């Protein structure tokens, strides 16, 4: 576990690792269909993740290990129907609003930016007109992660 999570319970720390997977599921599945290109892009994003803090690097090093398997396991806990699943994931991701203020401010900002980047890149991977790196209507609703407050504002 990252030392950035010192003030969080082990359950809350686990959620910080789970949240990028939830973001990938939410965005990829917003249109009701999680396709291979979206999963592949989510995996690529966890590998490309760069950060100025060791905490972010450590977090994504852990998240990317068996990412696709973790995604499938997490996905099984949610309804198949996208409208039901998305509501539950949005509610769960909003928990970050209570967790991010408890971690170091720089880490919170970097974490938030990393999941926003993940959302944007997954959305662009398979959507829009002819799948040409544009965001589809279903993804557009969630791509800016409106359920999570930007830590730079508090």
Q: pLDDT of the chain along its 154 residues, tens only? A: 556 777 899 999 999 999 999 999 999 999 998 989 999 999 999 888 766 678 888 899 999 999 999 999 999 999 999 999 999 999 999 999 999 999 999 999 999 999 999 999 999 987 555 555 678 888 899 999 999 999 998 7
Q: Tell me whether residue 143 is in a domain.
A: yes
Q: Tell me whether residue 111 is in a domain.
A: yes
Q: Tell me whether residue 1 is in a domain.
A: no
* Burial class of residue 16, CB neighbours in 10 A (0-12, 13-18, 19+): buried
**Residue span of the structural domain in which 14 resides:** 10-153
Q: Tell me whether residue 2 is in a domain.
A: no
Distance CA 128, CA 150 (A): 26
Read off the pLDDT of residues 24-39 as tens digits, 9 standing for 90 and up.
999 999 999 898 999 9
Read off the pLDDT of residues 57-81 as tens digits, 9 standing for 90 and up.
889 999 999 999 999 999 999 999 9
DSSP state of 30: T
- The alpha-carbon radius of gyration of the chain (Å, integer) is 15
DSSP state of 9: -
- The number of domains in the chain is 1
For the beta carbon of residue 82, count every other beta carbon within 10 angstroms.
18
Q: Tell me whether residue 4 is in a domain.
A: no
The encoded tokens of residue 81 equal 């129907």
For the beta carbon of residue 34, count every other beta carbon within 10 angstroms.
21
Distance CA 135, CA 122 (A): 9
**CB proximity list for 50: less than 8 A, separation 6 or greater:** 57
pLDDT of residue 76: 95
Distance CA 119, CA 139 (A): 9
């Amino acid at each position: 576990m990252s030392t950035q999570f010192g003030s969080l319970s082990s359950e809350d720390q686990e959620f910080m690792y789970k949240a990028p997977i939830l973001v990938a599921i939410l965005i990829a599945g917003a249109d009701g269909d999680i396709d291979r290109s979206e999963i592949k892009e989510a995996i690529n994003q966890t590998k490309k993740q760069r950060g100025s803090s060791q905490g972010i690097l450590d977090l994504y090093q852990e998240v990317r290990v068996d990412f696709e398997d973790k995604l499938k396991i997490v996905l099984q806990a949610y309804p198949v129907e996208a409208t039901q699943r998305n509501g539950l994931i949005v509610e769960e991701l909003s928990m970050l609003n209570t967790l991010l203020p408890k971690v170091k401010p720089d880490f919170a900002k970097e974490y938030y930016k990393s999941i926003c980047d993940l959302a944007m890149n997954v959305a662009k991977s398979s959507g829009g007109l002819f799948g040409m790196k544009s965001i589809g209507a279903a993804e557009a609703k969630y791509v800016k992660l409106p359920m999570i407050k930007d830590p730079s504002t508090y």
